[in-house]
Amino acid sequence: MRATWLILKKEYLTRVRKKSFIIITIVAPLLFMGFIALEIFIIGGGAQQKLHIAVLDNSHLLDTVWKDREQFRFTVLHHPLDHDSLLAYAAEHGYNGLLYIPDTLNVEHPGGIQYYSQKKLSLDNYVALKNIIEESLQHIRFNQLHLNVALIDSVRKNIQVNIDQPITQASELQAGVAIAISMICGILIYFVLIFFGVAVMRGVMEEKMNRIAEVIVSSVKPFQLMLGKILGIATVGLTQFFIWLILLLILWSGLHQLIPSMDTASQVMTPSTMPANESMQLTQSVLAELTQMPILEIIVFFIVYFLGGYFLYASLFAAVGSVVDQEATDAQQLTLPITLPIIISFLIAIQAARNPDSPLAVFTSIFPLSSPLVMVARLPYGVPWWQLGLSLILLIASFLFTTWLAGRIYRTGILLYGKKVTLREMMRWAFRSR
């Protein structure tokens, strides 16, 4: 193990001392938070704009409806206009548009309503304006049928069904929180496997081109060599990743002070039908549901599967890096069989977050190539211990096996230059007797 430790130390120190490592480690979180800040600023700034709409209601059915809203400012026209001059009238008087309601409007089957403007309504504004008219016509129809509108509205708001699950203490909100946690964990592991797996491959490629490996490979066993390289390069990636997390948390905590419009943006992103006190209650309910979930267990196993998946795929990427030179097309062809299981596992993890006990979810959460993504999607729902144990045993065994496999491929591939290698040749190097 001393040789493995020396290789690990050499790989780690060589890479963390590079200027590129320092620059990327600092700049990446700043760019990420900068994009978030820009998005919040844009959302917050755009929320203050209202559409000034003129309303020509020849039916006079909706005269009491046109009160200013969050998105609209209405001006009711009381004088008749020629139908052909509606667009010109709106433009001449500075309106964003003109809403025309014909005198033949039928409450049961409304038609003929038209909006005149040089610009199309955005989807949000279109839906909001449509809802205003539909709700008003519904109330008119209720009155025509001599129904109590206030009673109907109260029934709509007050009847809310929540099916309690006393055995598992689960709720609808907890299911939503579980899906959110599953998706966040899955996305995080997905990008880590892709991004840092490729980084391991490129690190091996650089070493091959610098001819450093030719000296090492003659005095170290393939398994020790590959294990040291994988752990060393992986530790660099993990160091960078955890520094990013710390910096992102620091930057996020200061985002409220840096961007005054963040509170406005959060109000915009909250559904307009939800009052402020209900929004606060929802936040408190989400936090309460989080306290009822096995957060410590989720965090511990997330880290375990995070590291297990990282090391497993890092060994495969390292094997590819040892057999290619600087030809990007060669690397892409050989990495496709590695990235494809990651992509498929991510798609399965999305379904596992919604149906965690399906046969596909259970099998793929145990299968080593997919378990790092699928199992973390199932963790918030609770996973039987035998499935967790079997999955971890297979994952660790697969990592050791792929490391041994990659070491044998590495020992031969690292000495080849200017030759295109196929997957069949790589397998022959791995399993041939020496």
Q: How far apart are CA 266 and CA 251, in angstroms?
A: 18
Q: Give tens-digit pLDDT for 368-404.
A: 999 988 998 888 877 889 999 999 999 999 988 888 8
Query: Who has greater pLDDT, 30 or 357?
Result: 357
Cα of 76 vs its chain's centroid, Å: 45
- Which of 226-235, 260-269, 342-351 shows the highest mean pLDDT? 342-351
Reading the block at residue 274, the tokens are 């939800």
For position 7, what pLDDT does the model report?
74
The 10s digit of each residue's pLDDT in 177-220 is 677 777 777 787 887 778 777 777 777 776 666 655 555 655 66
The answer to which of 134-143, 285-294, 327-336 has the lowest mean pLDDT is: 285-294
Give the single-character DSSP code of 246. H
Whether the pLDDT of residue 268 is over 80: the answer is no
**So what's the pLDDT on residue 104?**
84
pTM for this structure?
0.61
Does residue 124 have a pLDDT over 90? no
Counted residue by residue, the chain has a size of: 434
d(CA 229, CA 206): 13
Name the phi and psi angles at 57, rounded to 5.
-105, 95
Who contacts 127 (Cβ-Cβ below 8 Å, separation ≥6)?
none
d(CA 428, CA 405): 11
Model confidence at 363, in pLDDT bands (50, 70, 90)? very high
In DSSP notation, 393-412 reads HHHHHHHHHHHHHHHHHHHH
- Phi, then psi, of 41 in degrees rounded to 5: -65, -40
Helices H / strands E in the chain, number of each: 17, 4
DSSP letters, 148-191, are -HHHHHHHHHH------BTTTTB-HHHHHHHHHHHHHHHHHHHH
Measured CA to CA, the distance from residue 197 to residue 206 in angstroms comes to 14
Mean pLDDT lowest for which of 48-52, 97-101, 197-201, 264-268? 264-268
Nearest to 353 by CA among 392, 371, 379, 384: 379
Looking at per-residue confidence, does 294 or 43 come out higher?
294
Q: What stretch of H or E contains 120?
A: none
Residue 42 has pLDDT above 70, yes or no: no
Distance in angstroms (rounded) separating the CA atoms of residues 381 and 277:
29
pLDDT of residue 262: 46
Average pLDDT, the chain: 76
Q: Is the pLDDT of residue 116 over 80?
A: yes
pLDDT of 36 higher than 80: no
Is the sign of the CA dihedral 116, 117, 122, 125 positive or negative?
A: negative
- Mean pLDDT, to the nearest integer, of 269-285? 51
CA angle, 255 as apex, 250 and 257 as ends, to 5°?
Answer: 115
Residues 220-229 pLDDT 10s: 676 677 777 7
Q: Give the alpha-carbon dihedral of 385, 391, 396, 400, to 10 degrees.
A: 150
Contacts of 367 (CB under 8 A, 6+ apart): 394
Domains of the chain and any CATH numbers: 49-152 (3.40.190.10), 170-253+274-431 (no CATH)
Q: Is the pLDDT of residue 273 over 80?
A: no
Strands 51-57 and 114-116: unpaired
**Tens-digit pLDDT profile for residues 137-190:** 888 888 888 877 777 777 666 665 555 545 444 455 566 667 777 777 778 788
H/E stretch holding 384 reads none
pLDDT at 364: 92
With helix as H, strand as E and coil as C, how does 49-117 read?
CCEEEEEEECCCCCCCCCCCCCCEEEEECCCCCCHHHHHHHHHHCCCCEEEEECCCCCCCCCCCCEEEC
Whether pLDDT at 367 is above 90:
yes
Sheet hosting strand 72-76, strand order edge to edge: 72-76, 51-57, 97-101, 114-116
What integer pLDDT is reported at residue 266 of this predicted model? 47
Model pLDDT, residue 388: 92
Which pLDDT tens digit goes with each residue over 86-95? Answer: 888 888 888 9
